[in-house]
Amino acid sequence: MTLKASSSTLSTDITYLTDREANAYSPLSLAFLGDSVYDTLVREHLLMKANMPVSKLHSAKIKLVCAEFQSDAYEKVAEQLSERELAVLKRGRNATGNTVPKHADAVQYRRATAIESLFGFLYITGRTERVRELFALIISDGEKAENG
């Protein structure tokens, strides 16, 4: 990514990678980026949904970014993916070297890492509209579970 600043504004020139270039990154590196992409979408979603105190926004965010929630979304997302996207998802799930936090089991954490890896891959290859489509699917399922 190349950032270029002018005297009056900060503009961003983003250079996206090809699939081949993105595949050169480890799934955990893609998940590193995907975690941020996913977290930003959650924050945007919550802010647009309601104007509420930051403490409530934070509590709601924690529920949507936890490994358990992302793991639950794994199957729903997998059903909607192209063959290429599914390969990225599986590569993220099978990544080794990540330590499992206390609040999640290994399977949940690997599946959450897979979602983040996919989001990172899609983002870095310029498929931001696809990221939003998949995020909408995940969030709509989460809201259904919350409401009923």
pTM of the complete model:
0.86
Judge whether 115 lies within some domain: yes
Judge whether 13 lies within some domain: no
**Site of tokens 């503009």:** 11
- Annotated catalytic sites, by residue? 35
* Residues in Cβ contact with 28 at an 8 Å cutoff, skipping those fewer than 6 apart: 95, 97, 98, 113, 117
Task: Identify the domain containing residue 30 by its residue range.
Answer: 18-147
Judge whether 39 lies within some domain: yes
Q: Are 19 and 84 in contact (CB under 8 A)?
A: yes
Judge whether 5 lies within some domain: no
How far, rounded to the nearest angstrom, does the alpha carbon of residue 43 sit from its chain's CA centroid?
A: 12
Q: How many domains does the chain have?
A: 1
Tell me the CATH number at 27.
1.10.1520.10
* pLDDT tens series, the chain, 148 aa: 444 444 445 446 778 999 999 999 999 999 999 999 999 999 999 999 989 999 999 999 999 999 999 999 999 999 999 999 999 999 999 997 767 777 778 899 999 999 999 999 999 999 999 999 999 999 997 666 555 4
The sign of the torsion formed by the CA atoms of 8, 13, 126, 37 equals negative
Judge whether 1 lies within some domain: no
